[in-house]
Structure 1
């Protein structure tokens, strides 16, 4: 089935529309591979993550300052120190993220972002001689990372594993007292609680990344299809312009129907080479084609120079018209 030029335009417009939809779902990038796109995505979301974490810590610090002046019984000096340390760590991380190192290694910055928030409270407890799991900071960080940066689940797993290694390692190396976060909580409950939080986060990241990878490949396929359609459209238009005058070709593209115009003042020139049959017997085919090419090229130049419309060539015959498809008074 032949595909008209107008149909090619419709297909191209359809593909462009779908490309815009895919671009709205994925971060804009010129990356050529999924790994490049993922690296760029992690970097962009880390900038947002550092900023949100910093703002959230500031709100808690403001809350403690408010307690200091208006509710002294609720004021916790150790919490303020921990929050300030975490805020400084986040600010340093945000500055480091915008350096060439941070741009090149967003995965490492991801771990810095995670451990500044999750390990800082542990250090506060270690200084007091205890080791206690943070059932607020840890889940909040793990779920936030899974929401903001839902790609590359091994990175999330390493982040979570690092927190647990520090928690148990500091307990054993420093001989710290193990304190559960709540009096009613058992070690078994704490294990199951953290296990399911980590599992849900990693599973959601894994599933989202599969979807993102599929969308990325689909977008690449659409881009390649669009380029092919664009090439076919350009080839079709070039062929159309070789067959028909430019004005007629434009009218045919806009309204693909039979085009018939009437011209009362027009001139038609038929020209051929006298004695061409005898001449062709003295040349081999390659020389004959070269001769015709030289002659017709000169005719084409003259036709373009005088604004004429070449119709066709057959053998040694050359046909050209004047006064159509654009009327002119000096057609003769």
Structure 2
């Protein structure tokens, strides 16, 4: 009588089952079905809408009040040592973008001690594109997406008083000393009296890789050729509603404004994953070119309204760092774009000051 054959070994089946389980778990985690709840663009957009007192149809959920800009970037070639990105090869490149103020109300007054911002899209003949959104402060009030949402909720004005609930803000600040540090900074820092004389900072860190394969962390600054002058913070309430935008319109009608793009190379030990932490002390800096803004126009007729300035849209040679804010910025900008694209925007605050769609040069 022939012996029964031995059962097949179980090890291969166990290995296959383990691989399937691992893949399924990874997919479930990526989809957000398991693990801690992760924020998406809608969560952040909802918080921004609540903070702004509701939806303002057709406008960005953040930095709603803005003015389009057009100009060029003249690269001097020095940036090629840092990155192979073609935007830093010597030459002139077209630029368009947007000046804006923080906040979700497109008709808000300019007399507020908030971010003044510059967003840009730069394109090269080989079809590559660099998008960047910068603020006039070197640090940001929060280090992660959940803290950003919590700050929006804590700082939402009470309809009865027009101010945030002090108890909610006190509790939030007790948990977030980095936000309190930012508040202390911006209270004493100069508040530029023009978009043209502000220095704009990348806020987040990025990775640059050059043709030799060398990779380094960097931040950058747009440093104006015009010396900064500050607004009197004690008299902000007395400023005309659209003071900063009208000032930029009048200034550009007389002459263009220029900034130098300066790349700051991280030192060993510099924090790259927290926009709340400034890089201090001596650093290698490289002036890589000059931005000239020669035209401004209202969003109704400009080319900046129907785009988003996602800072993770980068050319070869540039990449996001490990800063978690970058991924959520991309998500919320996309969500905001989708929402406003389905809405009908009204006129911008400064549109009435430009005649029949004319640009100001």
Same-fold call, TM > 0.5?
no
Normalized per residue, which structure has more helix? 1
TM-score, normalising length: structure 2: 0.19
| Higher RCO by CA contacts (8 Å cutoff, separation 6 or greater) | 2
TM-score if structure 1 supplies the norm length? 0.20
* Greater fraction of residues in strand: 2
